[in-house]
Amino acid sequence: MKNYYGNFGGMFVPEMMVTPLKKINEEFEKIKNDKKFKKELNYLLKEFVGRPTPLYFAKNFSKDIGCKIYLKREDLLHSGAHKINNTLGQALLAKKIGAKEIIAETGAGQHGVATAIAGSIVKLPVKIFMGEKDIERQKMNVYRMKLFGAKVIPATSGSKTLKDAVNEALRYYLANSKKSYYLIGSVVGPMPYPKIVRHFQKIISKETKKQILKKEKKLPTYIIACVGGGSNAIGSFDSFINKKINLIGVEAGGDNIKHGKTLSKGTIGVFQGTKSYVLQNSDGQIQEAHSISAGLDYPGVGPIHAYLKDSTKANYFSVTDDEATNALEYLCKSEGILPALESAHGIAYVLQNKKKFRKNDLVIITVSGRGDKDVAQLLESDKI
Amino acid sequence: MIKNKNEFKKNTFMPFVVLGDPNKENSKKIIKKLVENGADALELGFAFSDPVADGPVIQLANKRVLDKNNSTKNNFEIIQNIRSYSNIPISLMLSYNLALAFGLENFYKKCSELKINGLLFPDIPVEENKDINYFSKKYKINQVYLIATNSNEERIKKISKFARGYIYLVSTLGTTGMRNEIDKTIKTKIKQIKKYTNLPIYVGFGISKPTHVQNVLEMGADGAICGSSFCKIIENNLNDDYLMIKNIGVFCRKMSQSTNAKIKKNKVGDY
């Protein structure tokens, strides 16, 4: 198993977890190029989920910024976000391995919903671990998970957000690895997960590349995506790495005091099975992240992003809660698209850095999910 | 590692507590009480914000310590205090990130200064041991490894090659915590491990009664490690320091006595 991306990655897990993870890796390597598996997954992605997603020319947004801006519309996917690309792939893998149930963590609830849906497809029961605080701020997604038949288990330890949901899922998996498949939702965690999730998400950039070459006869100058754990960003970057294209990941700036700027403000550490950048204090205790968007509220980040950052193959910036909220409203009014608060971070980056873009720039922003799930929260917060 | 002489012996009872729990001063008293009541060796944990392999009781112990802003520096001060009165074998158990944050080489150096006998990172399997293998040799610290009930023979062989001090056999798949019974299948695991190493095998996870200690020794293990029960005594007596420390001593004595028939002598200064 190729376990590292530069200095990052690895499999920092208790001995009890090594054997199950190795088995997952073996099965994944066996089936990822298997014709029957690919056919089954591609069929589902096309007919069930709605791929390929459009690459939409955002006319009014382009005019406001002064260059061409396209939006990769992952928000149009069944379930409302890119997460389903990965959950279907891994659910088929779980079935293949002979798992009796699927477990997963979720932050914003998008991965939870996408896992619940995938569980229905492969007919496996699903348990979703979700931070108590996130259950509160993403009520609608909790209800959706239940509609799809998943059991939602509150994570009540620590900050009661995504990182604690991951802890609880890992603890459950330690005890139940014989019957359960842990379906991780981002390019985080121990190997082989970063590799597996990247594999299933890279379809985003594969499509984008084909689409932009058809529409514009050239490659883009910018690819922009939000980064929490980093799955939609890796998916968006994959085909464009090493191509002299500005790859920009946008992290959660929070309220500027509390934030989720793991790559821009974190330091190198080992957290939840992987070596990467982490928000931690000088003793190595993990700090709580903060973001208005539950999906970016995570003090770790995928090791591939740590590698891309250190090798300057990609750059990482942040925008604040307020900037993201304003960008969400902007995209609604200018383009008629309601992005998820997570995805609004990518939009906000462009709005905040208008001067950076030249007339000839060709910018692609991934709208990783739709904002329907955030409506209740925005309504309550009175921000708009 | 001292050749031909291992500080970790057979017939061992090794209690575990989290350093600094419930606070620095009482933690020192609790550990002294353990040493005075038959502990053959100590396993001391460093509190971590995200202890993945720990069940609810030790998670709470971690939280108690971190809520008081305890630091790695404090942990070393408590160990320093133990070393002022005892040479009892000490094994440290901590998440790798804490040692990384301290500076890995500095961490080993500090362990060496404090005459730490064993060091276990539960989140480092042999696949990731390159750095710790280097420093544990350089600073002569026994690097302890976990073996699990789902570790196959090939892994056991590989782990045995790197392991020093003792083998920590995890009795069950899951997190730390008290359990009613100890899985009988570990008997075959113990036999399997003995094919590849002469190191003592200590069984941990789930050990919470004197009969558990007897059980694992009967199954061929060389010792038992018990943590959650001690943390639970602390948790149950947060308002009464006297009772907390007294009960720790009584329970430790009971557990320790079940390692053999003879009643152990007071260990202070025996080393």
Average of per-residue pLDDT across A340-360: 97
- Distance in Å, alpha carbon of A49 to nearest chain B alpha carbon: 34
Instruction: Name every chain A residue with its beta carbon within 8 A of the beta carbon of B146.
Output: 14-16
User: Cβ B101–A269 below 8 Å, yes or no?
Assistant: yes
| Window 34-73 of A, Cβ < 8 Å to B | none
Q: How far, CA to CA in Å, does A322 sit from each of A227, A262, A298, A341, B52?
A: 17, 19, 18, 10, 34
Instruction: Read off the pLDDT of residues A289-337 as tens digits, 9 standing for 90 and up.
Output: 999 998 899 999 999 999 999 999 999 999 999 999 999 999 999 999 9
Average of per-residue pLDDT across B168-173: 96
Q: Decide: helix, strand or coil at residue A180.
A: strand
Amino acid at residue number B118: G
Which listed residue (A72, A83, A209, A373) is catalytic?
Answer: A83
pLDDT of residue B264: 46
A273, closest residue in chain B (CA to CA): B123
Q: Which range is least confidently modeled, A233-242, B39-48, B80-89, B254-263?
A: B254-263
User: Cβ A272–B95 below 8 Å, yes or no?
Assistant: no
pLDDT of residue B260: 75
Average of per-residue pLDDT across B251-271: 67
Q: What angle do CA A315, A320, A324 make, to 5 degrees?
A: 95
pLDDT of residue A242: 87
ipTM attached to this prediction:
0.95
Provide the percentage of residues in chain B whose pLDDT is more than 90.
89
**Residue A364 β-bridge partners:** A70, A223
Provide the percentage of residues in chain A whose pLDDT is more than 70.
99
Joined together, the tokens standing for residue A269 give 């550490």
CA atoms of B113 and A314, how far apart (whole Å): 43
pLDDT of residue A377: 86
Note whether A266 and A272 are within 8 A (CB): no
User: Cβ B127–A16 below 8 Å, yes or no?
Assistant: no
Residue B263 above 60 pLDDT?
Answer: no
pLDDT of residue B3: 39
pLDDT of residue A1: 62
Instruction: Read off the pLDDT of residues A195-233 as tens digits, 9 standing for 90 and up.
Output: 999 999 999 999 999 999 999 999 999 999 999 999 999
User: Cβ B50–A20 below 8 Å, yes or no?
Assistant: no
Q: Which range is least confidently modeled, A107-111, A113-117, B107-111, B147-151?
A: A107-111
Q: Name the interface residues of B facing A (CB cutoff 8 Å).
A: 48-50, 52-55, 59, 66, 71-72, 95-102, 122-125, 127-128, 145-152, 155, 159, 170, 172-175
Based on the number of CB atoms within 10 Å of its own CB, is B264 exposed (0-12), middle (13-18) or buried (19 or more)?
Answer: middle
Average of per-residue pLDDT across A59-71: 98
Nearest by CB to residue A18, choosing from B48, B96, B125, is B125
Note whether A383 and A375 are within 8 A (CB): no
Burial B113-144 (b: 16+ CB within 10 A, else e): eeebbbbbbbbbbbbbbeebeebbeebebbbb
A291 assigned to active site? no
Instruction: Read off the pLDDT of residues A354-367 as tens digits, 9 standing for 90 and up.
Output: 999 999 999 999 99
Top pLDDT among B88 and A160 is at: B88
pLDDT of residue A98: 97
| Window 295-354 of A, Cβ < 8 Å to B | none
Note whether B223 and B202 are within 8 A (CB): yes
Joined together, the tokens standing for residue A218 give 């050239």
Average of per-residue pLDDT across A29-51: 97
Residue B266 above 50 pLDDT?
Answer: no
pLDDT of residue B11: 94
Amino acid at residue number A70: Y
Instruction: Name every chain A residue with its beta carbon within 8 A of the beta carbon of B147.
Output: 15
B235 assigned to active site? no
Joined together, the tokens standing for residue A380 give 């309550």
Based on the number of CB atoms within 10 Å of its own CB, is A214 exposed (0-12), middle (13-18) or buried (19 or more)?
Answer: exposed
Q: How far, CA to CA in Å, does A210 sit from each of A54, A213, A295, A321?
A: 11, 5, 28, 33
- How high does pLDDT run on average in chain B? 93
**Residue A128 β-bridge partners:** A104, A152
Which listed residue (A105, A207, A323, A335) is catalytic?
Answer: A105
Nearest by CB to residue B96, choosing from A170, A176, A270, is A270
pLDDT of residue B270: 40
Q: Helices (DSSP H) in chain B: which residue ranges?
A: 24-36, 56-67, 72-83, 96-102, 104-113, 130-138, 153-162, 186-194, 210-218, 228-236, 241-257
Joined together, the tokens standing for residue A230 give 């980093």
pLDDT of residue B5: 56
Nearest by CB to residue A174, choosing from B66, B95, B174, is B174
Instruction: Name every chain A residue with its beta carbon within 8 A of the beta carbon of B96.
Output: 12, 270
- How high does pLDDT run on average in chain A? 96
Radius of gyration (C-alpha) of chain B in whole angstroms: 17
Q: How many CB pairs under 8 A join A and B?
A: 117
pLDDT of residue B271: 37
HEC-encoded secondary structure of B2-13: CCCCCCCCCCEE
A11, closest residue in chain B (CA to CA): B128
Q: pLDDT category, B153, cuts 50, 70, 90?
A: very high
Q: Which range is least confidently modeled, A84-88, B9-13, B66-70, B102-106?
A: B66-70
- Which residue is it, tokens 């139940």? A176
**Residue A322 β-bridge partners:** none
CA atoms of A347 and A342, how far apart (whole Å): 10
**Residue A50 β-bridge partners:** none
Note whether A253 and A320 are within 8 A (CB): yes
CA atoms of A53 and A81, how far apart (whole Å): 11
Note whether A139 and A106 are within 8 A (CB): no
Instruction: Read off the pLDDT of residues B36-75 as tens digits, 9 standing for 90 and up.
Output: 999 999 999 999 999 999 999 999 999 999 999 889 999 9
